[in-house]
């Protein structure tokens, strides 16, 4: 006779067994499929993809060296999540980082919903209720626009896996409950105008920046470099509007000149899209070309030494001390005076040498250091 406290095993229907088989095949086939990104399937972080971790643990900034296994997606869910993400990248190799983030965010909400409602993160337990709970959770955690995008990704998820026969067909009837907020950027009413105006600097600030840009700077004096970089960056953004990040990594051979169909010379700037769309050219309004030329010339001059350091670190002599403009012109093995040590390290010799060198763990005494040991 069966013991009263023995666990009762529920029989599975043919449909459930078939869906379980399709899920296992989906995970194994996707795992074995080769793709352009080299990743370790067992790891919780995939380069160029993101973190397969719980919603409560979403790292920001510098990547942690070790992610506690307790913060990984549930063991019953993580392989499925990886297979879904990889399958999506195989289907659309050009998917950008934003799509990866939304896909992972939607999976995290699903795992949370399953653990809340089912006490187990079994993908086969996903139904309409689970999808709705996941969307509602996103609405509580994220801004309205982000919650809308996560809900839209959940809809794509439900439709895709229902077609594959992994989720029940009714899941394809899921409707994103998170409405898209009104886009004040495109609207033309009074509220949208007020929002746009609040984002803009006032006229006095713009004229002040223009006044500073028009001054004659002594670029040999590095105390003015901050003003030069700031005003030159703003000038370039006004010559060819783009994302701020793109302006901060411009190539040296930035400008391009071509003759248009009317026979006029036109100036363009070579930019590289920060959202993965590659290199492109933005053409400068002819009357703004002199402004762009002045800004580019200034930025090149004040960043020359930084670029020289970069070339040195990429060259064959990178193990030698970098000979910057203030570096003492002596042999690598020659003992240095305290003043020369300060100059080599980029400090002013007029400063307190003892305090300066002690602050970086060195002794203020002549003959103790050479460029090689520094």
47-56 tens-digit pLDDT: 888 889 888 8
pLDDT over 80 (residue 211):
yes
In DSSP notation, 282-331 reads EEPPGGGHHHHHHHHHHHHHHTHHHHHHHHHHHSTTTTSPP--TTS--S-
pLDDT bracket for residue 124 (50, 70, 90):
very high
pLDDT at 273: 79
Tell whether pTM > 0.85.
Answer: no
The residues, ordered by sequence, that sit 6+ positions from 261 with a Cβ below 8 Å of its Cβ are: none
151's enclosing H/E stretch is helix 144-163
pLDDT bracket for residue 68 (50, 70, 90):
confident
Specify which of 80-84, 261-265, 348-352, 359-363 reaches the highest per-range mean pLDDT: 80-84
pLDDT bracket for residue 2 (50, 70, 90):
low
Q: How many CB atoms lie within 10 A of CB 270?
A: 15
Tell me the angle at which helices 203-213 and 225-239 cross, rounded to the nearest 10 degrees: 110
Distances, alpha carbon 309 to alpha carbons 19, 87, 182, 342, in Å: 59, 43, 48, 18
Cα–Cα distance for residue pair 315/324, rounded to 1 Å: 15
109-135 average pLDDT score: 92
pLDDT over 60 (residue 6):
no
pLDDT at 3: 53
The residues, ordered by sequence, that sit 6+ positions from 219 with a Cβ below 8 Å of its Cβ are: 225, 228, 298, 301, 302
pLDDT at 299: 94
pLDDT bracket for residue 4 (50, 70, 90):
low
pLDDT over 70 (residue 77):
yes
366-372 average pLDDT score: 89
pLDDT bracket for residue 361 (50, 70, 90):
confident
What is the CA 188 to chain-centroid distance, rounded? 32
pLDDT bracket for residue 61 (50, 70, 90):
low
Residue 224 DSSP label: G
**How do residues 283-329 score in pLDDT, each as one tens digit?**
999 899 999 999 999 999 999 988 999 999 998 888 889 988 888 89
Q: Which of 26-35, 77-86, 229-238 has the lowest mean pLDDT?
A: 26-35
Cα–Cα distance for residue pair 357/17, rounded to 1 Å: 72
pLDDT bracket for residue 7 (50, 70, 90):
low
pLDDT at 360: 81
pLDDT over 70 (residue 1):
no
pLDDT at 63: 63
99-105 average pLDDT score: 88
Q: Is 197 helix (H, G, I), strand (E, B) or coil?
A: helix
Cα–Cα distance for residue pair 99/352, rounded to 1 Å: 54
User: Is the sign of the CA dihedral 48, 53, 54, 60 positive or negative?
Assistant: negative
154-159 average pLDDT score: 94
Q: Judge contact between 336 and 344, C-beta under 8 A.
A: yes
State how beta strands 255-259 and 265-272 pair: antiparallel
pLDDT at 351: 65
Strand spans (E) along the chain: 45-46, 50-51, 255-259, 265-272, 279-283
Q: Which of 3-17, 18-32, 170-184 has the lowest mean pLDDT?
A: 3-17
Specify which of 3-17, 50-64, 110-124 reaches the highest per-range mean pLDDT: 110-124
């Amino acid at each position: 006779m069966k013991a009263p406290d023995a666990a009762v095993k529920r029989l599975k229907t043919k449909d459930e067994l078939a869906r379980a088989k399709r899920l296992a095949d989906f995970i194994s086939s996707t795992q074995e499929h080769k793709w352009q990104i080299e990743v370790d399937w067992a790891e919780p972080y995939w380069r160029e993809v993101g973190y397969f971790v719980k919603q409560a643990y979403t790292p920001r900034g510098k990547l942690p060296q070790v992610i506690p296994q307790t913060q990984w997606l549930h063991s019953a869910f993580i392989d499925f999540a990886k297979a879904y993400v990889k399958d999506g990248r195989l289907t659309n190799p050009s998917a950008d980082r934003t799509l990866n983030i939304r896909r992972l965010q939607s999976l995290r909400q699903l795992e949370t919903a399953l653990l809340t409602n089912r006490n187990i993160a079994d993908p086969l337990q996903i139904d309409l209720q689970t999808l709705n709970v996941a969307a509602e959770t996103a609405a509580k955690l994220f801004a309205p626009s982000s919650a809308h995008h996560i809900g839209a990704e959940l809809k794509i998820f439900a439709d895709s896996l229902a077609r594959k026969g992994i989720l029940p067909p009714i899941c394809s009837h899921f409707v994103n409950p998170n409405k898209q907020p009104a886009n004040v950027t495109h609207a033309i009413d009074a509220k949208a105008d007020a929002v746009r105006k609040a984002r803009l600097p006032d006229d006095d600030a713009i004229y002040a920046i223009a006044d500073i840009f028009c001054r004659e700077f002594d670029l040999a004096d590095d105390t003015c470099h901050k003003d030069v970089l700031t005003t030159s960056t703003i000038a370039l953004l006004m010559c060819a509007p783009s994302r701020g990040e793109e302006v901060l990594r411009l190539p040296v051979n930035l400008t391009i000149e071509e003759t248009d169909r009317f026979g006029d010379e036109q100036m363009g700037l070579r930019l590289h899209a920060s959202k993965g769309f590659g290199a492109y050219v933005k053409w400068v309004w002819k009357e703004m070309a002199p402004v762009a030329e002045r800004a580019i010339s200034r930025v090149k001059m004040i960043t020359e030494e930084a670029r020289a350091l970069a070339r040195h670190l990429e060259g064959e002599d990178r193990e030698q001390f970098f000979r910057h403009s203030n570096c003492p012109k002596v042999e690598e093995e020659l003992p240095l005076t305290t003043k020369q040590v300060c100059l080599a390290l980029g400090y002013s010799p007029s400063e307190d040498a003892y305090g300066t060198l002690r602050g970086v763990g060195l002794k203020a005494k002549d003959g103790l250091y050479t460029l090689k040991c520094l």
